[in-house]
């Protein structure tokens, strides 16, 4: 049996950074499931397909090839053979991904890929529905939360570092819209699993969050 750590929570809580550090410390494979939804959104954007064109999306999903590769702790994302690790993280993809991720046909495609990865490997998997839908029996479930304002602040700073010019207000607006879509969608909404442990990172440093989760996982692993 593989060991599964599920880390769920909204965008901008530091999930990506924290999961990456924890994967290395705990010798687990890091799986960023948002990257898969981003690949679907990018593939459709590239083909000028909008989220209400279900038939066309179905065709895209039939052919889509998404691969996550971990080399020395760095995750690369390949879409139909192309390294799209940067292309999936633009504001254009940010703006549409939540709408694609809300579609049943999209979730029905991505969820089995996630399950297959977690069944074969000891993983730390981050997303929105890992502890509720993908691995309801995960060994450890963490719900990482943070205030909307602090999340927007963090995303704004990340964007600046990447040379993306968006104002704080634009980032906040986009984060609020995505949050609404993710928490109110019918299928696999972002909610805390009853048995997950809440970690609120609003006033915590990355190191503090890592330390807290690391302790929880080690305690569970050592029985
Ligand atoms: O974590 P992220 O921002 O890269 O996620 C991109 C989008 O995918 C976001 O709108 C939420 C969605 N997502 C999801 O619905 N379920 C997951 N398990 C992971 C991400």
Average pLDDT for 195-208:
96
Domain 4-216 has CATH 3.40.50.620: no
Centroid of ligand 1 to alpha carbon of 40 (angstroms): 11
Instruction: Look at residue 113 and tell me whether its pLDDT is greater than 80.
Output: yes
Instruction: Look at residue 223 and tell me whether its pLDDT is greater than 80.
Output: no
Global pTM value: 0.92
**Opening angle at CA 165, ends 164 and 169, nearest 5:** 120
Q: Which sequence spans correspond to the domains of the chain?
A: 4-216
Residues 6+ apart with CB under 8 A from 161: none
Question: From CA 145, how far away is CA 190, in angstroms rounded?
Answer: 11
Map residue 102 onto helix, strand or coil.
coil
Each as own residue / partner, the long-range contacts of residues 202-208 (CB below 8 Å, 24 or more positions apart, any chain) are: 202/145, 202/146, 202/147, 202/150, 206/14, 206/17, 206/18, 206/21
Centroid of ligand 1 to alpha carbon of 204 (angstroms): 23
Ligand 1 atom index nearest CA of 134: 18
Read off the pLDDT band of 74 (50, 70, 90).
Answer: confident
Instruction: Look at residue 71 and tell me whether its pLDDT is greater than 80.
Output: no
Which parts of the chain are beta strand (E)? 4-8, 29-32, 66-71, 74-79, 82-83, 123-127, 140-145, 197-200
């Amino acid at each position: 049996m593989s060991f599964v750590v599920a880390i769920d929570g909204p965008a901008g809580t530091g999930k990506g950074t924290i999961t990456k550090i924890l994967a290395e410390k705990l010798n687990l494979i890091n799986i960023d499931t948002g990257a898969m939804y981003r690949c679907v959104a990018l593939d459709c954007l590239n083909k000028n397909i909008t989220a209400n064109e279900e038939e066309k999306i179905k065709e895209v999903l039939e052919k889509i090839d998404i691969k996550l590769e971990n080399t020395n702790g760095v995750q690369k994302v390949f879409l139909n053979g192309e390294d799209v690790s940067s292309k999936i993280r633009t504001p254009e993809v940010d703006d549409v991904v939540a709408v694609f991720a809300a579609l049943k046909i999209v979730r029905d495609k991505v969820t089995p890929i996630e399950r297959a990865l977690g069944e074969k490997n000891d993983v730390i998997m981050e997303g929105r529905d890992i502890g509720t839908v993908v691995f309801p029996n995960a060994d450890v479930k963490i719900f990482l939360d943070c205030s909307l304002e602090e999340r927007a602040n963090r995303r704004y700073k990340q964007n600046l570092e990447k040379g993306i010019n968006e104002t704080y207000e634009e980032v906040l607006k986009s984060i609020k819209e995505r949050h609404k879509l993710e928490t109110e969608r019918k299928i696999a909404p972002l909610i805390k699993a009853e048995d997950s442990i809440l970690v609120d990172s609003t006033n915590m440093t990355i190191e503090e969050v890592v330390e807290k989760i690391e302790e929880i996982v080690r305690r569970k692993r050592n029985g």
